[in-house]
Structure 1
Amino acid sequence: MTKTLLITGASTGIGAATARAAANAGWNVALLARSQDALERLAEEIGDTALALPCDITDREQLDKAVERAVNRFGGLDAVYANAGMGVSKPGIEKGAPEEWHAMIHLNVLAVLTTAHATLPHLRKTKGHFVVTGSKAGRDHLKGSVYGATKWFVQGFAGNLAEEMREWGGRCTVITPGMVDTPFFDEPKPEKIQPEDVANSVVFALEQPDTASVREIHIMPND
């Protein structure tokens, strides 16, 4: 039976690359992001094994409806990739913008929590896998980085969730890349990690045997 992966932040960058990689590996993919046009183009590219689910995952009602549609279409969830995230335009704390922090924390922290809360009952049924995008910034102390602090949360949360899911045979993996060449940055960075590199690591973690739980994959540019 074909397994199903739900991906947040699926319209571009790491999320879109993971959707393609998972589909190529034989998975159904449920694609969540705010950009309806981009999601529909990606779903059309992938074919019948993809479902575009435009929504704002910081809105719990929209998230729940998207999860329900994915489950109804594919019969359940075997894995979830909480990939959606954002940074801020004004670095530092003293000169930072609290309104930017508010939006970032809602996406990078609270939406990760609510994505887990909304999908864990489905993953429990399949002894499934929860994957989340962390960052090298969540493993190091970076001067005044509120973004990094949100990824420190993700790092700790993933370990705690792995222990909770372990009780019923589930698994949790945090992917912690360094700089990735995505629209997150204003200028292309072709010499850095490519979205496909991260996507391959997600598929690797998902396809490990039941006897192994890959808790973290840390990827750095090789330049």
Structure 2
Amino acid sequence: MTRTLFITGASSGIGAATARAAVARGWSVGLMARSADKLDALATELGAAALALPGDATDPAAQEEAVARTVENFGALHAAFANAGRGLERPGTEAGDPEDWRGMVDLNVMGVLFTARAALPHLRRTKGHLVLTGSAAGRTHIKGSIYSATKWFVHGYGGNMSEEMRDWGGRCTVISPGMVDTPFFDSPKPDKIRPEDVADAVLYALEQNPRAELREIHIMPTG
């Protein structure tokens, strides 16, 4: 039976790499992101196994609709990857922009909650898997970092969801990468982790024996 994975932040970086890796392993994928052009191009590349779902992950109704369309198209949902996230234009508390903070918190915190809320009723039916993109920044203290604090939330929430989902046979994994060479950064980081490395970790977690739950995979560059 083909399994289905819903991904937010799917148009580039970790999300796109995970979509490609999942389809290569026989999964179907529902792809959500704001960039409709990039999303359509990726779905065309991946063929019938992919469904483009343009939308804003900070909009709970949009996430509900995207998950529902994924299930309608592929028949069931076996995993959801809350991957969409962003940083700040101006880091720090005194120098930062409160509206910029709000936008980041809406995506990095509320967006994760909206993915979980939309996916959980469907995952319960399949004893499915929730995957969250955390960060090495969510495992340590960084001077004044508000971004890091949002990732601390993801790590804490992931552990809490593991405890909840185990009641009905579900699993939750936090993927915790260090610096990844993605469009998240303004300049290339060729000596750092590649999005494909993170995608491999996501699929590794998803394809474990159902009796085993990898609650966190922490990936750091060797350089």
TM-score normalised to structure 1 length: 0.99
Separation in 1, partners of 2:43, 2:180: 23
Report deviation, 1:96: 0.9
Quote the RMSD (CA, aligned, Å): 0.5
Q: Does 1:105 align with 2:102?
A: no
Q: Does 1:69 align with 2:57?
A: no
Q: CA offsets per residue over residues 87-106 of structure 1, 9 Å max, x none?
A: 00111111111111000000
Separation in 1, partners of 2:141, 2:187: 24
SS, match of residue 132 in structure 1: strand
Q: Does 1:222 align with 2:192?
A: no
Separation in 2, partners of 1:77, 1:68: 9
TM-score normalised to structure 2 length: 0.99
| Length, aligned pairs only | 223
Structure 1 stretches lacking a partner, 5+ long: none
The aligned residue for residue 13 of structure 1 is 13
The aligned residue for residue 40 of structure 1 is 40
SS, match of residue 174 in structure 1: strand
Q: Kindly, what percent of the aligned residue pairs are identical? A: 65
The aligned residue for residue 132 of structure 1 is 132
What amino acid is the match of 1:222?
T
SS, match of residue 168 in structure 2: coil
The aligned residue for residue 161 of structure 2 is 161
* Structure 1 stretches of at least 4 aligned residues deviating more than 3 Å after TM superposition: none
Structure 2 stretches lacking a partner, 5+ long: none
What amino acid is the match of 2:145?
S
Report deviation, 1:217: 0.2
Separation in 1, partners of 2:221, 2:97: 30
Report deviation, 1:62: 1.3
Q: CA offsets per residue over residues 130-178 of structure 1, 9 Å max, x none?
A: 0000000000000010000000000000000000000000000000000
Q: Does 1:119 align with 2:83?
A: no
Report deviation, 1:63: 1.3
The aligned residue for residue 60 of structure 1 is 60
